[in-house]
Structure 1
Amino acid sequence: MSTVDKQLDEIASTITNQLPDRISVTDVTYEGPELVIYTRDPKEFARNGDLVRNLAGQLRKRITVRPEPDSLTPEADARAAVLDVIPDKADVSELDFHEDTGEVVIQAAKPGMVIGRHGSTLREITKKVGWTPEVVRTPPIESSTVSNVRSFLKQEREERRDILERVGRQIHRDQMSDDEWVRITTLGCCREVGRASFILSTPETRILIDCGDKPGSDDTPYLQIPEANPLNSLDAVVLTHAHLDHSALIPLLFKYGYDGPIYTTEPTRDLMGLLQLDYLDVAAKEGRSPPYESAMVREAVKHTIPVEYGDVTDIAPDVKLTLHNAGHILGSSVAHFHIGDGYYNVAFSGDIHYDDTRLFNGAVNDFPRVETLVMESTYGGRNDYQTDQADSEQRLIDVINETHDKGGKVLIPAFAVGRSQEIMLVVEEAMRKGEIPEMPIHLDGMIWEATAIHSTYPEYLRDDLRDRIFHDDENPFLAPQFNHIDAGQEEREEIAAGDPAIILSTSGMVTGGPIMSWLSHLGGDPDTTMTFVGYQAQGTLGRRIQNGWDEVPMNGGRGRGGTLSLELDVETVDGFSGHADRQGLENFVKTMNPRPEKVLCVHGDERSVQDFSSALYHNYNMRTFAPKNLETFRFK
């Protein structure tokens, strides 16, 4: 018998001793970080809501109770009973029963009403029918991505359960070493923006944090080095957020043998799949060989274990993970690692925005302990101060009005996730208040689909925006001015030849995608204003246009190569970046209590990371580093 089996036997014995005689336990197993109790008496568990809570506190584990199939009310009877318990105002759209796990997935427009106060309605459902309810939100804007992910995970439930059981046994295995140390190895995004990737190592565990590409370059993370290999012996992958410079190459891990878990938030999982599939599509259209196939994207989704903000989750025998809001894009996280029994704590900022935005609450920096912080420095240069948000919004409104008066179009290269939705909110409000004229707002590329995913997860949005979407029935993303471009070139040509309009199009750094088509249509129009609202990395076409290039290569668009002469106006409106500026980065570190002992400044060009590292050292007396790629740091 393995040590995990012995451990489970002891836990089962403890549980049995704590439960009343009328409640049976048929099996106890691990599924990922959770302990799962199987019983023929789920209704009894539901009648005593404190049972699971007390067991979880005693065992110091997250617990799920699953009913044995023969204890369940037949599906036809259960369906009627479940609907009878749930208030009509919850607006249930679907009930999906899964006999293998004893779960009923309830899709509703108002999940809170299905859950009830402190979970009272959920317990009432289990008391009546025995099934364990799982609640998901009916998306107010239909998202093919969310629908496809949910359908795929339902289809793969049996294999996914096997994966979770295997992961659970790996997490709860006995520690093999008495040594204690912590190391971080940099595989990318050091003195550069892009290809974020790190290895966090202990004597027991190796965890990969992020695995992205580099915009405007073929450079990839250094996955071939000994610290990262063999890939199939990595214990876990943690993804801070879905942008491609952090997530693009995660499917590549599965191509080369990795078969373990990915920990991230639920919206990041969905956005990751969306962006990775588009990444493959763009590569194919541009005649490049994609680094992996779509089947590997599905593998990544199947191996993802969603984690909610603030939940402390065991991911290895000696590592606990907690994700916190990073304020950058939907589902973005600061990843906090608690190593050993209070031995050491490391936080990876991912990409952060310190202050509140229209979309998100500002980044969380309240941790019990952090000895080392790995900190993004995109705008860490000494002069990298962004315009105040109100001033930025007014400048954008001015650009739109000036361009409209000329009879032109405002062309905004935008990241599908985050900046597009921020701009949508600003422009929708300005039109509603009469600050700019009514005109169509065309959304090209993945922007509409990404917006639908935002509406699916309002609990990750700023408090007042969430309330507008679901409590006041005022979803700003459903404003009639928004037009999703779905007819391709023909629709673009018609818009380009038409009346004044605002066009938001991917890609945000002008590195491919439909923005190239818009350039071919509008690049020669002096009445058009190309307006940059997001960071343009070195080496990208966006940065070159921003710096004044008026002859640009066209390897796509309408299928023609060569160069294009630009006659349109070019404007940059600062203040809409999803990244904190220099002041925001400093404030994030300054207001941490206690402050970290060491800071590794990463994810910025050479000047930015060195400026920021120097400032933290001189202003706050911290040990700081501006590492290069392939460096390893040992702590303790």
Structure 2
Amino acid sequence: MVIEDILEGLKKKIEKNLPAGTTISNVEFEGPQLVVYTEEPRKFADNGNIVRTLAKSLRTRIVVRPDPKVLLAPEESIDLINQTVPEDSGVTNYDFAPDVGEVIIEAEKPGLVIGKHGETLREITKKVGWTPKVVRTPPIKSRTVKNIREFMKKNHSDRKDILKTIGRKIHRECTSKDQWVRLTSLGGCREVGRSCFLLSTPESKIMIDCGVNVGSDDDMTPYLYIPEVQPLNQIDAVVITHAHLDHQGLVPLLYKYGYDGPIYCTHPTRDLMVLLELDFIDVAAKDGKRIPYESADVRNALKHSIVLEYEEVTDIAPDIKLTFHNAGHIIGSAVSHFHIGDGLHNVVITGDFKYGPTRLFNPAVNKFPRVETVITESTYGASNSMQPALKDAEKNLQRIIKETIDRQGVVLIPAFAVGRSQEVMIVIEEAIRKGIIDEVPVYLDGMIWEATAIHATYPEYLNNDLRRLIFQKGQNPFLSECFKPVDSNELRRNIIENPHPCVILSTSGMMSGGPVMEYFKAFAPNERNTLVFVGYQADGTLGRRIQKGWKEIPLSSGGKGSETVLMNMDVEIVDGFSGHSDRKQLMEFFKRMKPQPERVFTEHGDERSCIDLASSIHKRKKIETRALTNLETIRLV
């Protein structure tokens, strides 16, 4: 059956289920959604159950769009919308897209624009005809969020064509009589970095993650040249679990070499991906390395992105449905559940996850409707990989900062821009607010402030406590006056040349470059200062050398030879802020998983960690387990 016949059949089914007197003019697939066009959008808005009933009966996501001829003029629409939404909703901007009949409303309090159970949105549609979509006005100005929104607006027409093509591929008929499911490991097995998998059926090919190993020149990229993957344009979809480079850093490369399909991820993952990819190629170019792709490839990938919410079941291929669940690792990180065929098999790929409380996120989800196979990360899978309790880590950090400030010193914290920095910021902000630490400036250098702005834009992805603080009490800790972004070389020079009691969070996390090195050179000789490591320092990095006790640190001076920095400042290691589950949490994740899987495969850890975790789960659960190796294909069904 051709796609036009499928659409015609769906149109007839919809018309048959509509209330008397309600009509539609056309139906079309756009990405995973079935778009229903009508000249009577007000009737659909009057009865909120119509769309829910249709979606349930057709088992697909449905969006109703007005026929362009029934839309009010934008100026008149704005007046009516302003009369409809509460005054304190803080509407800051309107964007109208006539080709899809949507008005994007940017507001400081999106919940007030949406209304209880979407009542205000339906009221807007009844008055103006346009379909309203609401986005949050970033409370911290973010270049990334602003540029992405403007780019999406400018490319609305192109995106509509892209989504139409994707939609027709997703909803094509299944043609094969065979039923099988295979998983091919392309990177990230018995190692950390370049995570990449291919999930295959007779009908579909889905790539999960496509990362880069930034710390290795030899094993930098996944095995994208093998026959299972080529040609790239035969892949149906790319699913990204979260925004760290070792899981998504080579996605734009796929578009450079022929892939033209969708990328599925959450909203924060999409925005952080763009930020980190552009920084990745910028740093590579400055270091004189060959960049794997251009900024145009990043934009092309962005144009093909489809964002999904947690718990939203979505068709991504004719025989595969995807559902994202909170992974608790970084903002927007997702445990990915794949439902294959008509109940044939269910695969969960955890990505990186944290099955424990943090200052930012709720623990990772491990309850699913069905699951037979799990592919899990094993970063801390070894039997001796235990992390201190978070409360102990917080008290330890607060003590170190207090002692350093009391002796008029500077606290320097090298940190990754996404995740760890924001966790530490919350702890410091609370300590200052409660008077545990004196009120000193907390400087944020590198990409940390921009990444924090993205966190502030999507507070609905934060944990219950933070959401309550932000939405009910109106207190956003990220907006605290103690935080000072270092947004110029002059300010950085001023901090260095006029040392005063303060805390500095700066990239890079392993001291492999970035602005942290300027602060380190300036503050390392003074014994009143303290260097605090809150993250893992890999072998061979400067951070690891300092942890080993080096007292004279040779550093290059930008092409002018080298200099030796005398290391007199205190060095402290504060474990417990990791975004990964430790060994105990990993075992608990599987102990409490519902339903219990039939098999578990381990990846994303060194060889010992992957093997140890697989062995322990097998002994505990008496199920099939294995530490995957790169380049193997396993049949799941």
TM range (shorter): over 0.9
Residue in 2 that maps onto 1:314: 315
Determine the C-alpha separation between the residues in 2 that align with 1:538 and 1:195: 18
Q: Is the 8 A contact 1:216 1:511 kept in 2?
A: no
Question: What per-residue deviation string (whole Å, max 9, x for no partner) do you get for residues 532-556 of structure 1?
Answer: 1122334443334333444555357
Determine the C-alpha separation between the residues in 1 that align with 2:205 and 2:545: 39
Identity percentage over the alignment? 57
Residue in 2 that maps onto 1:503: 504
User: Which segment drifts farther, 355-364 or 470-479?
Assistant: 470-479
SS in 2 for 1:204: coil
Residue in 2 that maps onto 1:70: 69
Question: What per-residue deviation string (whole Å, max 9, x for no partner) do you get for residues 448-505 of structure 1?
Answer: 1111111111110011212222332211112222110011266246336411221111
Q: Is the 8 A contact 1:215 1:537 kept in 2?
A: no
Q: Is the 8 A contact 1:216 1:539 kept in 2?
A: no
Q: Which amino acid aligns with 2:104?
A: V
Q: Which amino acid aligns with 1:139?
A: P
Q: Is the 8 A contact 1:393 1:426 kept in 2?
A: yes
Residue in 2 that maps onto 1:346: 347
Question: What per-residue deviation string (whole Å, max 9, x for no partner) do you get for residues 537-596 of structure 1?
Answer: 34443334333444555357x565535445133221010011111111111111002211
Q: Which amino acid aligns with 1:456?
A: T
How far did residue 254 of structure 1 move? Answer: 0.7
How far did residue 142 of structure 1 move? Answer: 1.4
Q: Is the 8 A contact 1:551 1:563 kept in 2?
A: no
Q: Which amino acid aligns with 1:315?
A: I
Equivalent residues in 2 for 1:569-584 (5 A)?
A: 569-584=570-585
Q: Which amino acid aligns with 1:44?
A: K
Residue in 2 that maps onto 1:185: 184
Determine the C-alpha separation between the residues in 2 that align with 1:166 and 1:625: 39
Determine the C-alpha separation between the residues in 1 that align with 2:561 and 2:196: 34
How far did residue 513 of structure 1 move? Answer: 2.1
User: Which segment drifts farther, 314-323 or 47-56?
Assistant: 47-56
User: Which segment drifts farther, 181-190 or 27-36?
Assistant: 181-190
Q: Which amino acid aligns with 1:363?
A: A
SS in 1 for 2:228: helix
Q: Is the 8 A contact 1:215 1:540 kept in 2?
A: no
Determine the C-alpha separation between the residues in 2 that align with 1:297 and 1:66: 30
How far did residue 231 of structure 1 move? Answer: 1.1
How far did residue 251 of structure 1 move? Answer: 0.7
User: Which segment drifts farther, 451-460 or 537-546?
Assistant: 537-546
SS in 2 for 1:95: strand
Residue in 2 that maps onto 1:48: 47
Q: Is the 8 A contact 1:282 1:512 kept in 2?
A: no
Q: Which amino acid aligns with 2:608?
A: R
Residue in 2 that maps onto 1:9: 8
How far did residue 418 of structure 1 move? Answer: 0.9
1:113 aligns with 2:112: yes
How far did residue 20 of structure 1 move? Answer: 4.0
SS in 2 for 1:73: coil
Determine the C-alpha separation between the residues in 2 that align with 1:537 and 1:34: 44
Determine the C-alpha separation between the residues in 2 that align with 1:175 and 1:512: 51
Residue in 2 that maps onto 1:457: 458
Q: Is the 8 A contact 1:282 1:513 kept in 2?
A: no
Question: What per-residue deviation string (whole Å, max 9, x for no partner) do you get for residues 607-636 of structure 1?
Answer: 211221111111221211112211211112
Determine the C-alpha separation between the residues in 1 that align with 2:278 and 2:566: 31
SS in 2 for 1:411: strand
Residue in 2 that maps onto 1:208: 207
SS in 2 for 1:554: strand
Determine the C-alpha separation between the residues in 1 that align with 2:611 and 2:561: 39
Residue in 2 that maps onto 1:562: 562
SS in 2 for 1:279: helix
SS in 2 for 1:259: coil
User: Which segment drifts farther, 531-540 or 122-131?
Assistant: 531-540
Q: Which amino acid aligns with 1:175?
A: C
SS in 2 for 1:186: strand
1:397 aligns with 2:419: no
User: Which segment drifts farther, 336-345 or 599-608?
Assistant: 599-608
Residue in 1 that maps onto 2:436: 435
Residue in 2 that maps onto 1:225: 226
How far did residue 132 of structure 1 move? Answer: 0.4
Q: Which amino acid aligns with 1:357?
A: T
How far did residue 151 of structure 1 move? Answer: 0.6
Q: Is the 8 A contact 2:272 2:454 kept in 1?
A: yes
How far did residue 437 of structure 1 move? Answer: 2.1
User: Which segment drifts farther, 566-575 or 388-397?
Assistant: 566-575
How far did residue 408 of structure 1 move? Answer: 2.5
Q: Is the 8 A contact 1:553 1:561 kept in 2?
A: no
User: Which segment drifts farther, 154-163 or 491-500?
Assistant: 491-500
Determine the C-alpha separation between the residues in 1 that align with 2:59 and 2:170: 14
Determine the C-alpha separation between the residues in 2 that align with 1:72 and 1:333: 38
User: Which segment drifts farther, 428-437 or 14-23?
Assistant: 14-23
Equivalent residues in 2 for 1:100-499 (5 A)?
A: 100-218=99-217, 219-488=220-489, 491-492=492-493, 494-495=495-496, 497-499=498-500
Q: Is the 8 A contact 1:116 1:122 kept in 2?
A: yes
SS in 1 for 2:355: coil
Determine the C-alpha separation between the residues in 2 that align with 1:284 and 1:177: 46
How far did residue 176 of structure 1 move? Answer: 2.3
Determine the C-alpha separation between the residues in 1 that align with 2:73 and 2:214: 54
Q: Which amino acid aligns with 1:14?
A: K
Residue in 1 that maps onto 2:18: 19
Q: Which amino acid aligns with 1:574?
A: D
Q: Which amino acid aligns with 2:277?
A: Q
Q: Is the 8 A contact 1:527 1:569 kept in 2?
A: yes
Q: Which amino acid aligns with 2:101?
A: G
Q: Which amino acid aligns with 1:28?
A: V
* TM-score, L = length of structure 1: 0.97
Q: Is the 8 A contact 2:555 2:565 kept in 1?
A: no
Determine the C-alpha separation between the residues in 2 that align with 1:231 and 1:59: 31
SS in 1 for 2:133: strand
Determine the C-alpha separation between the residues in 2 that align with 1:349 and 1:550: 41
Determine the C-alpha separation between the residues in 1 that align with 2:502 and 2:418: 21
Q: Is the 8 A contact 1:382 1:612 kept in 2?
A: yes
How far did residue 204 of structure 1 move? Answer: 1.1
Determine the C-alpha separation between the residues in 2 that align with 1:362 and 1:292: 35
Determine the C-alpha separation between the residues in 2 that align with 1:161 and 1:358: 39
SS in 2 for 1:9: helix
User: Which segment drifts farther, 333-342 or 86-95?
Assistant: 86-95
Give ranges in structure 2 of 5+ residues lacking alignment: none
How far did residue 344 of structure 1 move? Answer: 0.6
Residue in 2 that maps onto 1:626: 627
Q: Which amino acid aligns with 1:324?
A: H
Give ranges in structure 1 of 5+ residues lacking alignment: none
Question: What per-residue deviation string (whole Å, max 9, x for no partner) do you get for residues 180-221 of structure 1?
Answer: 111111111111111111111111111111111114212211
Residue in 1 that maps onto 2:35: 36
Q: Which amino acid aligns with 1:426?
A: V
Determine the C-alpha separation between the residues in 2 that align with 1:529 and 1:86: 51
Q: Is the 8 A contact 2:204 2:236 kept in 1?
A: yes
SS in 2 for 1:292: coil
**Distance 1:287-1:497 versus aligned 2 partners, 3 A rule:** farther
